[in-house]
Amino acid sequence: MKDPHIVKSYDRDLETAQALIMKMGGLVEAAILEAANSLENRDEELAERVREGDRAIDALEQQINEEAARLLALRQPSAGDLRTVLTVMKISGNLERVGDYAKNMAKRTGVLVQMAPIDGSTGAIRRMAKAVEMMMKDALDAYIQRDAELAQDVRLRDAEVDQMYNALFRQFLTFMLEDPRNITACMHLHFIAKNIERMGDHATSIADQVIYLVTGSVPEDERPKADRTAFETHDTP
């Protein structure tokens, strides 16, 4: 039998890592909404705060990975605890990428405020960002609660985000065809919408990890995707 003092110490280490995940998740959720709000309100100061805030998200990912590596090296976790440690590392990686996408959105806000606004676009982007932020919140709640059913619900909602992205894509094409002067602004807005769609993918990936943690296996069914746009873009920070 394991020394109870070692077990308690290991449990504390796991709790520390999971607390860091929730702190990181809170910062990421805020970054998603603030990036969208800075765009809608043409608020360069808020956009700059989002960009600066990404440093704290990156620092937390590094701290989580160091804590997880220490757990793996020193504690020799059992199969169930090993899944927890691996899940922590993968979730932190997904959160870090979402933080990068929020930072990228904020960078483009600084460019877009110098251009004429595109009617209705920023409100639609804010609604899409809110949908993704709720996915992220529920994915993290599912992790804390070990709720595979809630995680599966998050997976299914990714298709709704894809549909919102597709609608925005068509809207931007229309604006660009109607007036070539809209092309630059619409391209920036399209990249922002694509960033948000990617955020939804990462929230879904977190939900996949929750199901793995709870059941011991990654979902076999391919999650539904509704992104069928004509040109695929990969906007990296």
Summarised one tens digit per residue, pLDDT across range 125-179 is: 999 999 999 999 999 999 999 999 999 999 999 999 999 999 999 999 999 999 9
Task: Supply the pLDDT for residue 229.
Answer: 53
Which residues are within 8 A (CB) of 202 and not within 5 positions of it... i.e. 6 or more apart? 94, 95, 97, 98
Nearest to 46 by CA among 34, 33, 63: 34
Section 180-202 average pLDDT:
97
Chain segment 72-93, per-residue pLDDT in tens = 887 776 777 788 888 999 999 9
218 closest CA partner among 119, 133, 148, 142: 148
In this predicted structure, what is the pLDDT of residue 72? Answer: 85
What is the C-alpha to C-alpha distance for residues 126 and 196, in angstroms, rounded to an integer? 10
Is 228 a residue whose pLDDT tops 70?
Answer: no
pLDDT category of residue 226 using cuts at 50, 70 and 90:
low
pTM of the model: 0.88
